[in-house]
């Protein structure tokens, strides 16, 4: 039996539900309960009938009774998990048999279980939440597929980048696996993922040499520390750091010749192309909930305090505070790299450039706080030593970024080495057939 309704998924299709229970009255009650909500509904009176429905219909969610003859709910949902793993599974249990319920959870990997008699509002909300979870999983898979397609397009722009992208993808997959073990609002695995994307951007930076490598991390560190010092309610240090790591990701699809030229040497048409990168970055990152504040900062980090910036021509306090902070620290590093002006500036010159455009290009409060922070930076209480991988020990902390000889970032400064990382570095040295020097901190 099928019920047609009005509600639709974002792809234009109504969610399809399957109710399985050997008691016709239960199936009828569920049918009646969900009729007003616009789902397509199928019903079955046994596990075998339910499997037959699943074999011919595209079902989003199954609600199954636990106690049924021949094939109970645990057995039925286990087969659903094996044969249709993306179908969401909910168990109805009408008796206090925890052993059977636990078996259903373990074997069928159900999403929720609901006791009979159920609460009408609770079961409707549970189904709605399960369908939303399914939608989010499908969207994540779509975004991952989109990212992979974009990586393939990048390889066509630069044949030499293909191998490096594959290596970065491997690192990204390993980093994403670590997310399952991380806890807290900002998991270590999520941060590592952001650093990988930041590193991918730097591979296309258009400037040879070690100075450009680490630009994103340096900007991120300065943005985080400056936001912490200013202690502004609308500038989270955590989000400022993420924005710093990813602020140039929108440049990843630009032609190489544009990335290799300082901004003030670009033609008018070239500047139009380069000025699109904040909006491109916003479009790439907008689906990541944890980055919403950072995405706003990335979009507006080229706005100017007097309103002459881009992409929206915002001025003064209408520019997000995190974007105003990012503008200062990004330009400070870019001036020293030579990506903003036609010559590389020394740190003191870069600071004077920033101060000279106070109130015009930059928020004067941010400029003043940045100058004070630079003047008061503490010297590290450690010195740097270089060691071969065989001399490393777990617990040692990197004093500087460690890059592969092909130019991409392996480990960022501040990373605490463990046995796995050390073993990997030893393999890299063996494969390279030449010494690898790792700079670590030694307390003074």
| pLDDT tens track for 375-386 | 887 556 677 788
Cβ neighbours of residue 170 closer than 8 Å, sequence gap 6 or more: none
Triad 49, 51, 52: Cα angle to 5°: 65
- CA distance linking residue 204 with residue 249, whole number of Å: 10
Q: Is the pLDDT of residue 186 over 50?
A: no
For residue 58, the surrounding DSSP H or E stretch is: none
What band does 429 get if pLDDT is binned at 50, 70 and 90? confident
* Beta strands 88-93 and 61-65, pairing class: parallel
Helix (H), strand (E) at residue 402 = strand 402-403
Q: Which residue has the higher pLDDT, 297 or 194?
A: 297
Q: Is the pLDDT of residue 259 over 90?
A: no
Mean pLDDT in the chain?
Answer: 82
Instruction: Report angle CA 341, 347, 348 to the nearest 5 degrees.
Output: 105
Q: CA-CA distance, 242 to 373, in Å (whole number)?
A: 20
20: pLDDT strictly greater than 90: yes
| Residue 3 banded pLDDT, cuts 50, 70, 90 | very low
- Report d(CA 410, CA 359) in Å as an integer: 39
Taking the model in full, what pTM does it have?
Answer: 0.48
By the 8 A CB rule, do 25 and 37 touch? Answer: no
Which three-class secondary structure state does DSSP give residue 112? strand
Look at residue 259 and give its three-state secondary structure.
helix
Instruction: Specify the range with the lowest mean pLDDT, choosing from 198-207, 211-220, 351-360, 407-416.
Output: 198-207
Q: Which DSSP letter does residue 302 get?
A: T
């Amino acid at each position: 039996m099928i019920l047609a309704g009005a509600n639709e998924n974002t792809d234009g299709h109504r969610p399809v539900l399957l109710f399985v229970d050997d008691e016709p009255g239960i199936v009828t009650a569920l049918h009646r309960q969900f009729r007003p909500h616009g789902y397509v509904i199928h019903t079955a009176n046994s596990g075998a009938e339910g499997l037959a429905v699943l074999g011919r219909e595209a079902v989003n969610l199954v609600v199954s009774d636990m106690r049924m003859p021949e094939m109970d709910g645990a057995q039925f949902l286990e087969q659903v998990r094996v044969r249709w793993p993306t179908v969401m599974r909910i168990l109805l249990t009408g008796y206090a048999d925890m052993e059977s319920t636990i078996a259903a959870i373990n074997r069928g990997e159900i999403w929720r279980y609901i006791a009979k008699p159920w609460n009408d509002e609770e079961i409707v909300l549970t189904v709605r939440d399960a369908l939303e979870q399914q939608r989010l999983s499908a969207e994540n898979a779509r975004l991952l597929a989109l990212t992979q397609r974009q990586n393939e397009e990048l390889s066509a722009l630069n044949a030499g980048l293909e191998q490096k992208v594959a290596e970065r993808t491997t690192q990204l997959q390993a980093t994403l696996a670590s997310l399952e073990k991380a806890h807290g609002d900002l998991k270590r695995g999520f941060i590592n993922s952001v650093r990988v994307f930041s590193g991918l951007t730097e591979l296309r930076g258009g400037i040879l040499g070690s100075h450009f490598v680490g630009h994103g991390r340096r900007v991120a560190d300065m943005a985080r520390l400056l936001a912490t010092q200013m202690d502004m309610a609308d500038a989270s240090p955590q989000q400022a750091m993420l924005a710093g790591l990813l602020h140039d990701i929108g440049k990843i699809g630009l032609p190489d010749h544009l990335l290799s030229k300082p901004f003030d040497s670009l033609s008018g048409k070239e500047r139009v192309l380069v000025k699109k990168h904040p909006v491109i970055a916003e479009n790439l990152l907008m689906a990541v909930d944890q980055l919403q504040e950072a995405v706003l900062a990335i979009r507006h980090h080229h706005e100017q305090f007097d309103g002459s910036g881009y992409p929206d021509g915002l001025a003064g306090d209408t520019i997000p505070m995190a974007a105003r902070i990012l503008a200062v620290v990004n330009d400070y590093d870019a001036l020293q790299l030579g990506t903003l002006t036609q010559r590389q500036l020394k740190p003191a010159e870069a600071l004077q450039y920033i101060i000279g455009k106070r109130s015009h290009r930059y928020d004067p409060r941010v400029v003043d706080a940045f100058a004070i922070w630079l003047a008061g930076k503490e010297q590290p209480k450690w010195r740097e030593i270089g060691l071969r991988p065989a001399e490393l020990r777990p617990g040692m902390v990197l004093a500087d970024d460690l890059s592969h000889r092909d130019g991409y970032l392996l480990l960022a400064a501040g990373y605490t080495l463990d046995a796995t990382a050390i073993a990997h570095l030893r393999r890299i040295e063996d494969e390279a057939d030449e010494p690898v020097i790792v700079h670590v901190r030694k307390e003074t």
